Each structure stands twice: as C-alpha cells, then as structure tokens.
Amino acid sequence: MRRLIILILMFFVQVQVKAQEWEWVKELDFIRSSSCDVDAFGNIYLFHFDSEQEKINLEKFSSEGEMLWTRQISNDYWTVSLKTLKQGGFFLTYGSQDKKRFTLERFSEDGNSMWQQNLEGNEQVSLSEIHIDYYGNYWITGKANQGDHFGDYTFSNSGLFIIQIDSVGKALKAFEAKKGGFGQRIESDTLGFIYLIGGNREDFWLIESISSGWDGFYTNNFEIIFDTNLEVKYFQNKGGNPYGSQGFLKVKEDGSVYRANVSRYSGITLFKNSKDGKETWKTNIDAVYSQFSNIVFDKNGNLYGTGYVASGDGKTKSFAWKLNDETGELLETFVPGWAVKLTGQKVSIDENDNLYFFGTANEPISIGPFNIGKTEDSYYTFLAKYALRNFPPDTLPEQNSAIKRNISKTSLSLNPNPTSSHFTLSFEAKKADVTITDFSGRIMLQRQVKSNENISTIGFSKGIYIVQIKVGEEVVRRKLVIN
C-alpha cells in the first residue's frame, strides 16, 4: 500500500513538471516601439513600426503562435500602447511626434477600427494606456491644457486629468487637477476606488489643500487614490530619485496593492500591501542593473513578474520571476540559456493560466529547448509561450536555431459550434481519445469516441471549452463554445 501511494505521488509530480514547459518561442524581426497583449483565449495582439517608421503594423497570433492577420495604419504617430479586451478586440493609444495630439482607438478582434477619440491642442498633451476596471468601465489619464478637447469634453484647467468614458469613448465623468502635473497609469479595486501614479515637472496643485513642488531637475513622482466620486482620499509624494520608483502600480481584485522600486545598486524591491494599507510582504531581487515591467496572477496563488536583473557587465541574470502571492517567497527565476542582454517587456496570462512573454534581446539566446537569434549585437523581439496547464503542445522545436511548427495532419471538424446541447466530431480515424476541459483545466468529459459520433453537452455551463482529440501520438485541440 505504501509503495502504491509513492507511485501515485510520483505520477502527480511528473504530471506537474510536464505541465510547466515552454511550448514555443518566436523570433520577430522588429525591435522598436512595440507593445503586446493577450486576451482570455490566448490570442496575441501586437504592434510595431515598419522599417521606415512611417506605418504602424498590427498583428494577431493564435495561442499556438500562428499569425492570423496583419494590418497597417499610416500616420505620423510614434508613442503607442496596446490593451486587449478579455472577450476579444483591443485598444490602441498613440501620440504624434510633436506630442500635441493623442488618439484612443477601439478595434475589433479582426483588426477593424470601430471608433476613435482624439486629445489635441496647441501645446503638448499626453494620454495613458486605457484602464478597464473590474466592472468593465473604461478610464484614461494624462495631461491636457485649458481649452483642449477629448472628443466632446473640454478641459477647464491645464494639467493632470482623469476621465471615465463609455463604450464609444464619450466622457461620463472627469477630474481635473487645479494646476499642473500629468497622469501616467490608472488602477482600480472592486470598491470602485481609483489609484493613479503620475508626476510633475513644475509646481503642482492637485486641489487647493494639496500641492507639490519641483526641484528643476528630476521628474517628481506621486501616487493618488480617489473614491468613486473622484474625490481625493490619499496623496503621497514619491520624490524625484532617478533610480527610484519606475511608476509601477498594480491593484488586485481583493484590494491588495503591489508596488515596485527599482534601484541601480540594490535591484528590484516588490511590495505587497493589504487593502487597509498594511505591508503584507517585501521581496528583493538583487542586481546592479534592473528594470521591472509588470505582473500577472495565476489561479494557483502565484504571481509572475518580468523585466530584467543584470550583473555589473550588463549581462542578464534573469528576465522573469515567480513568487508566492501570499508570502512573497521567490519560487522560480527565468534565466536565459546564455548570458546576454535580454529584457522582458511584458508578461500576459490567458484563462488557461498559460503565460506569454514579450521582450527584446541583442544576441542569440536559448529559452527552454528553443534557440533563437542569428547575429550578435543585433536587437530583435521575441515572443514565447509558457504553458502552465497540462495541455499537450502543438509545436515542437528542431535541433537547430530555427523554430518550426509541425502542423497536424489529422483533419478535425466540430459541428455545430457554438452549440447548446450536442456536437459531432469528424476525423480521419476510426476512433480517438477525446478530452473536454473548461478554462480552469477541469475535465468535463474523457472517453474514446468514433468519428461522427454525437456528443452531448447537456449539463455543461455556458462558456468556452477546449476539445482535445488524440490519435496515436498526434494531438489536436479546438475551441468549443456552449451558449
């Protein structure tokens, strides 16, 4: 009996190890002005400029790394950020070279423009990446000047602002600082409180009773919390240390607040505070040079951050980290196979807890079993998927530096899809092993079926499921929608 228990434990350990693996890595032939985000289904949206810096290229990849479409936008914009919607589609925020015009544009999941709103004036303005709160409301911040317009909203003051907008970009409510300052990033909690980080390079008055000076050299940073009526509840001046806070702030659904300080000499310090402001934990990642980009959370009580920490020679020691969200314990570091200059620009996560890393490097690198990068001292962008659930990968690496997909020859059709009661699987084999899982990884059905067999979905909740079919050693997956 004891031996049986040990064998069972060994099996589960093996499954867990197998479930955490690099599924694919792609080398992309652009480096500058790039941004990337992922929706709930693992679709990857990114943008980059063409080689002449004249057009914005929008691209969409599947969760398997296949390019689905590409689009181009002609303009003179140069500052761009991209934010996806969970249900598909995305927002672009981009600004002109003279910084006198910014545009917020909504796109469908097919890359078609749905609407846009402009912030423009005779002097420089700024507009943040859009924030989507836990109730689906849209928020923006930035800097405007008296008399400027965002759509049909006209600004009364010059300086920092917050605007809540509706589904077509119309202003619903707004806050304007009395004078000066600019907003950089917005977060929110489930109570509807708004957390803002921003700065000033001039004397700043948030309201009559709260102000902040400027030393004339470094940008002064601050953090503000507003209640649901956009009344100021908290203000903290962060100072102007050039190697201090990079302006990172993340608010989790339960009201926990995460902040990061980046120091040239002591690396990255990540803090977690409870919703009542008490420090929960503090974790330091030592480095001489460092950068911190963002964090995401999985369903197993872990958080993942990306950026880089480097030694004195500038070589990257690690570009991502896994921490226990409850204790702050550093559980795992993601290290490139060779010592290079590699930066994690963003980590995203889908509903299956698969991670997607987006970053840059300037030398050949290895990530897991994958080798990419052909020349030294030539920057390029990489995109990588790290699968956390036990879904078999659809991609396999070759033994050289090129990455090539092995496309399945198993012809699979699934009809009707969407469905409400049943569906039929058709495939080029007599029988196959079929597993249906929900987005949490829970197995809903697992059995052997014949081609064209009718499969009932009665009892399944509405939502999106993964249908996995295995014939011999070949595995194919399809998305099933139950309505």
Partner residues linked to 182 by β-bridges: 199
Which CATH number characterizes residue 188's domain? Answer: 2.120.10.30
Together in a domain, 153 and 251: yes
Percent of the chain with pLDDT strictly greater than 90: 42
Together in a domain, 68 and 213: yes
Whether residue 163 is contained in a domain is answered as yes
Together in a domain, 361 and 462: no
Together in a domain, 376 and 429: no
Whether residue 15 is contained in a domain is answered as no
> What is the tens place of the pLDDT at every residue in 194-249?
999 999 999 999 999 999 888 777 888 899 999 999 999 999 988 775 544 456 88
Could you tell me which residues come within 8 angstroms of residue 356 by beta carbon, excluding any fewer than 6 positions away? 36, 38, 42, 44, 347, 348, 349, 350, 383, 384, 385, 386
Q: pLDDT value at position 86?
A: 80
Which CATH number characterizes residue 428's domain? Answer: 2.60.40.3080
Together in a domain, 327 and 471: no
Structural domain that includes position 199: 23-387
Together in a domain, 302 and 429: no
- In eight-state DSSP terms, residue 376 is T
**SS3 call for 256:** coil
Whether residue 222 is contained in a domain is answered as yes
> What is the tens place of the pLDDT at every residue in 308-339?
888 777 778 899 999 999 999 999 999 887 66
Q: Match 């995109």 to its residue by tokens.
A: 383
Which pLDDT band, with edges at 50, 70 and 90, does 400 fall under? very low
Whether residue 9 is contained in a domain is answered as no
Compute CA distances 398 → 46, 147, 199, 212, 395, whole Å.
26, 59, 48, 57, 10
Together in a domain, 340 and 374: yes
Cis peptide before 369 (omega within 30 of 0): no
Q: What is the largest CA-CA distance in the chain?
A: 80
Together in a domain, 168 and 237: yes
Q: Quote the number of domains for the chain.
A: 2
Residue 397 scores a pLDDT above 70: no
Whether residue 50 is contained in a domain is answered as yes
Q: Which amino acid is at 21?
A: E
Token pair of 114 as six digits: 């749905």
> What is the tens place of the pLDDT at every residue in 69-117?
999 876 666 667 899 998 789 999 988 888 899 999 999 999 999 999 9
Q: Which one, of 218, 228, 198, 192, lies nearest residue 210 by Cα?
A: 198
Whether residue 10 is contained in a domain is answered as no
Together in a domain, 173 and 290: yes
**Beta-strand (E) ranges in 180-240?**
182-188, 194-200, 204-207, 210-212, 220-226, 232-239
**SS3 call for 19:** helix
Claim: this prediction has a pTM higher than 0.95: no
**SS3 call for 455:** strand
Whether residue 181 is contained in a domain is answered as yes
Domain boundary among the residues 370, 387, 404 is at 387
Q: Distance between CA 137 and CA 186 in Å, rounded?
A: 12
Q: pLDDT value at position 398?
A: 29
| Residue 149: CA count within 13 A, CB half-sphere | 5
Together in a domain, 195 and 76: yes
